[in-house]
Structure 1
Amino acid sequence: MSDSPLIDSLTAAVEARPDDLTLRLHLAELLVGAGRGAEAIGHAAQVLAREPGNAAAQKLMTSALGSPTAAAPESPKRADADTVSPQPAGTGSPQPAGTVGPESSPPAGTGSPQPAGTVDWAAMEQDLGDIVPPRFSHEQEPVQGHEDRTFDIETSTVTLADVGGMQEVKKRLEISFLGPLKNPKLRTLFGKSLRGGLLLYGPPGCGKTFLARAVAGEMGASFISLSITDVLNMWVGSSERNLHDLFQSARGHAPCVLFLDEIDALGHKRSQLNSSSMRTVVNQLLTELDGVDGNNDGVFVLAATNAPWDIDSALRRPGRLDRTLLVLPPDKPARSAILHYHLRDRPVAGVDLGKVADATENYSGADLAHVCETAAEFAMRDSITSGEIRMINQSDMMAAAREVRPSTDGWFATARNVAMFANESGEYDDLAAYLKKRKIR
């Protein structure tokens, strides 16, 4: 504690509000008047670090440096030319206001006297480095995580012919997306715009990513796949820049299919976000989809989500992700094709894929892969127990189908509520029709 309660109170106030420059200047003024120049220098320096051109702070710094016991000026306004500052005892004649120290004695280390009214900031940093922070910081090394991003540009060899079954999905893709692309003259005739993107939604593990690759292969376009982990970064502004770099890469490789996986995580409803940084990421995504900073011609955006009801409504406006496609669990032909694919390199004997497909209705593609894996475990376990290798048979497949339960049930339980109570706009009519067909009420 000092002998000045006012200074003590102001010091506490500045500690509580370190960014209040007016309060800090008032404290520095009182410290100069109390002969505590070294303390005043620290506060004036803090102000100058934030506002290098602050005239009041410069004048207080000059007073504190030149006369530690001098009283600070009554106001931060610039002194008149004929004003003189008080002089320490024994220094001789008064000095013009604004000079640093006695006229014939510049501060140590300055090399030569400075003109009246100026401050040798370099000398101040050298002589008072333990009190005054440097005015300017040197360029720092690039922070890890801010380096330029390079995205994998693929050429998809998969086409819709490689997608087993799912005829309704293929038909919708052809009508709403691929048809206009393949027929430019008809597109021009009917004034069909290529702006906007396609949102694939449905239960997890049902082939949304595979469909996106098939669309790229069907178009003969480049393919870029991106998930939330490729975008989000702990550094402020880096996530937005990653998104911009992504779209720039797609524009530079047009025609290009840009696939945004888990779009519900990247484009979540801003009203439900507590983080301001995530809201700016959503805003950046909207800007890129609009092509504000670049031409999106030849960039075809496909996005996938398991929770379309969590996506910000602005993302689904015309010109953005304005077309939706429900990707349901594979139908029977698709299930047979998926089972065949996962059994192709395994020892199999007498398996009726049609019967297994009948027993696995509503199974996702990932569920069917797990059925094949489980059947292989059954056959391997028997081979180890008996000492004789045997093939995977029908009983193994049916036992595996009974053991593995479809993972889509939980998704449909949530989707049912959405289709019943949040479908005012009709965007989930396809989902409602499917639920009715399956008698999920």
Structure 2
Amino acid sequence: MPDDTPDTPNTPDTPETPDAPATSGRPEPAESPLIGSLRAAVAAAPADVPLRLHLAELLLDAGHGGAAVAEAAFALSHAPGDPQARALMARALGGPAPSVPVEQPAAPARQGGGFDWTAAEQEVGDVLPPRFVATPDTKEAPLAVDGSGDPGDASAYDVEAPDAPGSVRLADVGGMQEVKDRLEAAFLAPMRNPELRKLYGKSLRGGLLLYGPPGCGKTFIARAVAGELGANFISVSINDVLDMWVGNSERNMHQVFETARRQAPCVVFLDELDALGAKRSRTQHNGMRNTVNQLLTELDGVDDVNDGVFVLAATNVPWDVDIALRRPGRLDRTLLVLPPDGPARDAILRYHLRDRPIESVDVGKIVKATEGFSGADLAHVCESAAETALLDSARTGTIRMINTKDVLGAAKAIRPSTEPWFAAARNVAMFANEGGVYDELLAYLKKARKL
């Protein structure tokens, strides 16, 4: 016979009476050993929602309302529709428990007089911030095997627009008229004249290798070329490409050029090419050889996919660059960037002295005393002269202006950083000038009597 005493389930007609919130002014009781054991279990299995809800209920019954809110919020982040988690959150916050009919799914929309979930979210937002922010029309991008972000994200590389603040043109490069003329004849004129380019069958692609002693403005000239072309500019260094994971360096190199193709016309500037494209015969690591191979593939640009992508590269040691990078169709044109000439040194000195307190500085004398100095050397000269005047002012307690003596003294104390480079380049130009690659360097060394 069936039992005449039916069970009495908890139905909407007999709602649970919410416990009083733990803000009664009494001191909060200490946690029981059972709660401590449950905390250890939750720490071992943080994604176990029923176990976490059991801990939240015990905390609430013991008067630990704040801790119960945190546990219920964590459970809701994993199971937003769980009716038990919602009921516990409502009890912990002192609101009425949401009425959910037995054996029926919870109503998705909040009805009038129900629990204010928006207010609850704001209250616990600082306790447990949301893990993800997504919209229905977006999909989570797949991660790479190393846990990094989307490998196809173009924003990973900074693309400078031609009209961005700080953009420069060749007119902003002081002096160096010979370099400007070479750039105009070999690189810029064909790019600026589409009719002539079409007439002579000139493709909208090109590569130019800038080489010379360090600190002489190769990077600045590359930016100026981008400004002259009205093109976007991407600067790439070894840190942007090399990766510890197998295959990621090649992928990064490919992504640089894919970004440039999407942003065409675009100038890709490969800084320190001797690091990115070192001679494979001297490279023992397979990863570096594969990176050079990938760079060669990108420069070839099959099916003219590189139209509108202009590749500029800079190096201090062109003799360490893989010979395949300099074959026709790749970085086949070279330009020697020498230490700044007289007009360039005049412009650089005035630039670095313009915001400093100076008086009766004879820039002409300083220009003559700094023959062979690089742009970085000239900046160092101005900095040292300012230090001398500053120390004198500190000793005497009277402000003293920077004068010609300070700058000439600094120039005399500083040796040009270009001298070691010319010492190494001299041997290459004399004994390793295969095919006349370094004829321009050899002519300069003879003219400057450095042979």
Q: May I ask how many residue pairs the two structures share in their alignment?
A: 303
Q: Which of 180, 185, 200 in structure 1 is aligned with 2:190?
A: 180
C-alpha distance in structure 1 between counterparts of 2:428 and 2:247, whole Å: 34
> After the TM superposition, which residues 163-174 of structure 1 pair with which residues of structure 2 at under 5 Å, given as runs?
163-174=173-184
1:262 aligns with 2:272: yes
Q: Which of 285, 295, 298 in structure 2 is aligned with 1:285?
A: 295
Structure 1 residue 194 displacement after superposition: 3.6
Contact 1:351 1:394 in 2 (8 A): yes
Give, as a single letter, the amino acid of the residue that structure 2 aligns with 1:247. F
C-alpha distance in structure 2 between counterparts of 1:304 and 1:241, whole Å: 22
1:346 aligns with 2:374: no
Which deviates further from its counterpart, 143-152 or 354-363?
A: 143-152
Change (3 A) 1:141 1:226: closer
Contact 2:143 2:149 in 1 (8 A): no
C-alpha distance in structure 1 between counterparts of 2:347 and 2:147, whole Å: 46
Structure 1 residue 352 displacement after superposition: 1.1
> After the TM superposition, which residues 155-304 of structure 1 pair with which residues of structure 2 at under 5 Å, given as runs?
155-156=161-162, 157-292=167-302, 295-304=305-314
State the partner residue of 1:396: 406
Structure 1 residue 198 displacement after superposition: 0.3
Moved over 4 A (4+): 139-142
State the partner residue of 1:124: none
CA deviations over 1:100-148 (Å, ceiling 9, x no partner): xxxxxxxxxxxxxxxxxxxxxxxxxxxxxxxxxxxxxxx9984234642
Contact 2:204 2:309 in 1 (8 A): no
State the partner residue of 1:428: 438
C-alpha distance in structure 2 between counterparts of 1:211 and 1:440, whole Å: 25
Structure 1 residue 209 displacement after superposition: 0.3
State the partner residue of 1:143: 146
Q: Which of 299, 316, 328 in structure 2 is aligned with 1:306?
A: 316
C-alpha distance in structure 1 between counterparts of 2:235 and 2:410, whole Å: 33
* TM-score where L is the length of structure 2: 0.65
Q: Which runs of 5+ in 2 are unaligned?
A: 1-141
1:152 aligns with 2:165: no
State the partner residue of 1:67: none
Change (3 A) 1:225 1:293: farther
State the partner residue of 2:450: 440
Contact 1:264 1:311 in 2 (8 A): yes
* TM-score where L is the length of structure 1: 0.67
Contact 1:226 1:259 in 2 (8 A): yes
Contact 1:158 1:217 in 2 (8 A): yes
> After the TM superposition, which residues 360-371 of structure 1 pair with which residues of structure 2 at under 5 Å, given as runs?
360-371=370-381
Q: Which runs of 5+ in 1 are unaligned?
A: 1-138
Structure 1 residue 294 displacement after superposition: 7.2
Structure 1 residue 187 displacement after superposition: 2.0
Structure 1 residue 174 displacement after superposition: 0.1
Give aligned-pair identity as a percent: 68
C-alpha distance in structure 2 between counterparts of 1:314 and 1:140, whole Å: 34
Give, as a single letter, the amino acid of the residue that structure 1 aligns with 2:146. V
Contact 2:143 2:150 in 1 (8 A): no
C-alpha distance in structure 1 between counterparts of 2:292 and 2:254, whole Å: 12
SS of corresponding position for 1:425: helix
